[in-house]
């Protein structure tokens, strides 16, 4: 097990380039199983979750190789197994994304309950209801067994706008017979990226970016290549870093359309000043963080919701930023009932936070944080604690940083280039 040792209170200055979007790369890698022809994927982040997913598909007989620092060649010429490695499935949530492609391509798959961040119950019912609507049978005995004779188009109303369930339904439907309509579909940028990638391989998907997706099934997909876009969650993380440390950070690779709501919330709830220099997002060094009250001097809130609203995975980052802003604000995590449980670690650092219930926390700032011995519980809370340690007085130690490595490529190297004092042990 590795740890970070951080000496806080050093200003951060300089330029940082955002890595590829993990949440786009994972379903796109899974989708390569839909064709027996080669696929090349560029700008793939070299992170833990990617390596685990590659190990899973490699165990199935899929060939892959890194052909550059962040370029990956994949060919699922044949799939020799129908059971996913149970130990690897336990490591990442994204293992469930192989269900749709394997069901469509070879007609059956045994998949064990996926792992990932422990941030509350993450139900799988929506996935399997969609598969059944397409003609599959699903049984459960310690693992999920999916089987189909033939997949056919269907009108599917998802009972929640689940990102991974939407992606699974799309991948199962692209080579099914007939037309499939998915209503209440998730429309996050990474869902859109998956759809555009599949279309480049010969799929026929309409309604990309909306909550109603129409898919005309095709007989087969061919090979191709794709470049993964930048990770908006990493952009949000570096906005948080820049806001709470003295210094100017220039972020390269951010896509304006994707970070618009995050920028809006940071500026109109926490008073953070941002600007664009052409396509470079700049966090200036003269920040005056303060909570901006609602009309009538009411206490404002930051809450999450499906796209295009504020992303759930930035709630932990926003909470740490709020500890350094002057005023009182409510953090309302609507989607996951265990995400806010890491606040006890921030309280131990000196933050003034009242955890009202599993979904709501009241933050009163600004507070002077001090170094502490911490443990990363999940990817986003781990990054939030890293931000807190960088702004704190004294030295902090963060254990279990493998959780952070699952979502952020070489984060310690990027931070050192900006001036942070951090080492990996």
- 323 φ/ψ sector (left φ>0, alpha ψ -120 to 50, else beta): alpha
Q: What is the pLDDT of residues 9-43, one digit of tens each?
A: 999 999 999 999 999 999 999 999 999 999 999 99
**Of the residues 15, 49, 110, 117, which is catalytic?**
117
Return the SS3 of 223.
coil
pLDDT for 117 equals: 46
- Predicted local distance difference test score (pLDDT) of residue 49: 94
pLDDT at 119: 44
- How many CA within 13 A on the CB side of residue 233? 25
Residue whose C-alpha is closest to residue 235's, from 303, 311, 161: 311
Residue 59, pLDDT above cutoff 80: yes
The torsion defined by the Cα of 168, 92, 228 and 414, in degrees rounded to 10, comes to: 160
Integer-rounded Cα Rg, in Å, for the chain is 22
Q: In the structure, what pLDDT confidence band is assigned to residue 422 with cuts at 50, 70 and 90?
A: very high
> What is the structure's pLDDT at 268?
97
Give the length of the chain. Answer: 425
Domains and CATH numbers, the chain: 3-19+230-424 (3.65.10.10), 22-227 (3.65.10.10)
Q: What is the secondary structure of 29-83 as a DSSP string? A: HHHGGG-SS-EEEES----HHHHHHHHHHHHTT-EEEE-SSS-EEEE-S----SB
Q: What is the pLDDT of residue 122?
A: 59
What is the per-residue pLDDT across 301-314, written as a single tens digit (0 to 9) for each?
A: 999 999 999 999 99
For the question of whether the overall pTM of this predicted structure is more than 0.85, the answer is: yes
pLDDT of 211 above 50: yes
- Judge whether residue 98 has pLDDT over 50: yes
Residue range 323-334, pLDDT digits in tens: 999 999 999 999
H or E stretch covering 234:
helix 232-244
* Chain segment 116-163, per-residue pLDDT in tens: 544 444 578 999 999 999 999 999 888 899 999 999 999 999 999 999
pLDDT single digits (tens) 401-414: 999 999 999 999 99
Q: Is 285 a catalytic residue?
A: no
- C-beta of residue 258 within 8 angstroms of C-beta of residue 232: yes
pLDDT of residue 1: 81
């Amino acid at each position: 097990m590795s740890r970070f040792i951080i000496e806080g209170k050093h200003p951060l200055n300089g330029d940082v380039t955002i890595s590829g979007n993990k949440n786009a790369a994972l379903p796109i890698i899974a989708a390569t199983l839909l064709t027996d022809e080669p696929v090349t994927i560029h700008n793939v982040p070299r992170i833990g979750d990617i390596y685990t997913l590659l190990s899973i598909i490699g165990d199935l007989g899929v060939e892959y190789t890194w052909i550059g620092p962040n370029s990956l060649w994949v060919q699922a010429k044949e799939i020799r197994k129908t059971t996913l490695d149970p130990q690897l499935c336990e490591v990442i949530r994204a293992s469930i994304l192989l269900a749709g492609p394997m069901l469509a391509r070879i007609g059956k798959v045994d998949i064990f309950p996926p792992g990932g961040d422990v941030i509350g119950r993450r139900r799988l019912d929506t996935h399997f209801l969609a598969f059944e609507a397409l003609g599959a049978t699903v049984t459960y005995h310690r693992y999920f067994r999916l089987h189909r004779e033939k997949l056919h188009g269907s009108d599917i109303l998802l009972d929640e706008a689940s990102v991974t369930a939407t992606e699974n339904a799309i991948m199962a439907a692209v080579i099914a017979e007939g037309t499939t309509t998915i209503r209440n579909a998730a429309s996050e940028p990474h869902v859109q990226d998956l759809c555009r990638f599949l279309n480049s391989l010969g799929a026929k998907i309409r309604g990309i970016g909306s909550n109603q997706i129409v898919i005309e099934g095709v007989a087969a997909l061919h090979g191709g290549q794709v470049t993964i876009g930048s990770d908006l969650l990493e952009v949000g993380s570096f906005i948080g870093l820049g806001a709470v440390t003295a210094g100017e950070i220039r972020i390269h690779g951010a896509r304006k359309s994707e970070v618009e709501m995050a920028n809006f919330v940071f500026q109109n709830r926490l008073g953070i000043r941002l600007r664009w220099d052409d396509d470079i997002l700049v966090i200036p060094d003269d920040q005056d963080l303060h909570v901006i009250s609602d009309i009538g001097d009411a206490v404002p809130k930051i809450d999450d919701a499906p796209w295009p609203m504020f992303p759930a995975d930035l709630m932990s980052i926003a909470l740490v930023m709020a500890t350094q802003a002057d005023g009182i604000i409510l953090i309302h995590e609507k989607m996951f009932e265990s995400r806010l449980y890491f606040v006890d670690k921030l309280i131990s650092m000196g933050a003034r936070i009242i955890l009202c219930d599993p979904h709501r926390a009241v933050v009163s700032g600004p507070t002077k944080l001090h170094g502490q011995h911490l443990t990363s519980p999940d990817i986003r809370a781990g990054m939030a604690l890293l931000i807190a340690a960088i702004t704190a007085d004294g030295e902090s130690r963060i254990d279990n940083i493998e959780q952070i490595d699952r979502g952020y490529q070489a984060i310690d190297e990027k931070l050192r280039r900006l001036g942070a004092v951090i080492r990996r042990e």
